[in-house]
Amino acid sequence: MERTIHLILNPAAGKGRSGRRLTAVLHALQDAGYAVEEYVTARRMHAAEVAASLPDDGAPLCVAGGDGTLNEVMNGLSPGSHTVGVLPLGTGNDFATLLGSRSMKDTLSALLGDRSIAVDAAKADVVDENGQLISRRFINAIGIGFDAAVAMDVSNGSTGRGIIPYLISVFRVLRHYAAVPSRTVFCNTELDATLFLACIGNGTTSGGGFRLTPKADFSDGLLDLCHARQLSTGRVLQVLPRALSGSHLSAPEVTYAQAAHFDIELDFPLPVHVDGEIVTDRARRIFVTCMPGAFSFYSGG
């Protein structure tokens, strides 16, 4: 007897790679014995709408796309309603990699073996310079400042997959970017310093492989903060490559912390992304809270 599986596929993910793989994805799921309920997204946040409207049937959900597509699904899916498998067809695929789903084969293996784990998520409440509140969940990371400016540049047309488009954008953004004074509060501690970038991670990597929060554990009920103060261009070029291995934490400009809640206030507006998707380019305050064990994922690792 065929089992039902829901498939949400973003055809634009990975510069169109996901759309080109639609037929192959459908055949792979059908060959594995699933009756596929297929949903192809057509606009921004469409995946969230689809996820919110899924029947409460407990059937597995496959998400075909990148971190941005998965983020949309997390913003529509009811916690605990469906176990999620991720087909890594986007640009960065950071969270899929953390799950051990480096290929469609990995994900199908986890589905067929019913290998699932509980994973934390997080909620970000972002206030822009006009006082508008924007609330979004994220599953992997939120980036504030330089991290988000790079994500904006990548989304505007850098080519390639993995870390290459992010590296290209780093050099482009460096030419005009400036840090701003900020205050970050966590665990009754206040960090009063300029903010070049802040990454709050549920996962260890972002930006296609940068290990900005290398100590993060997506099932420990905590989020990890990497805060970098003002850096000259020369220092950025020295410190940033170390983020590929996680060894940047020893740099004097970097503060690292773990907490269930963070409150960041900026003296001047900066861009913010969640899972690589830009929330606003004019954020003034950001509240981030962990959602322990909120979702279940199939794990290929």
Grade residue 86 by pLDDT with cuts at 50, 70 and 90.
very high
Give how far Cα 34 sits from Cα of 39, 104, 285, Å: 15, 15, 45
Q: What is the pLDDT of residue 194?
A: 98
How many domains is the chain built from? 2
Which string of DSSP letters, residue by residue, matches 238-300?
Answer: HHGGGGGTTGGGGSTTEEEEEESEEEEEEEEEEEEEETTEEEEEEEEEEEEEEEEEEEEEE--
Report the pLDDT averaged over residues 31-51.
Answer: 96
State yes or no: pLDDT of 160 exceeds 60. Answer: no
**Each residue's pLDDT tens digit, 211-232:** 999 999 999 999 999 999 999 9
Verify that 95 and 140 share a domain, yes or no: no
Q: Kindly report, residue by residue over 90-130, the tens digit of the pLDDT.
A: 877 899 999 999 998 999 999 999 999 999 999 999 999 99
Per-residue pLDDT at 1: 60
Q: How confident is the model at residue 182 (pLDDT cuts 50, 70, 90)?
A: very high
Q: For residues 65 and 90, is the Cβ–Cβ distance under 8 A? A: yes
- Residue 301 domain flag: no
Is it the case that residue 161 has pLDDT exceeding 80?
no
Give the separation between CA 59 and CA 195, rounded to whole angstroms.
44
Q: Is residue 175 part of a domain?
A: yes
Q: Residue 99's domain is classified under what CATH number?
A: 3.40.50.10330
Q: What is the mean pLDDT of the chain?
A: 93
151 and 226 fall within a common domain = yes
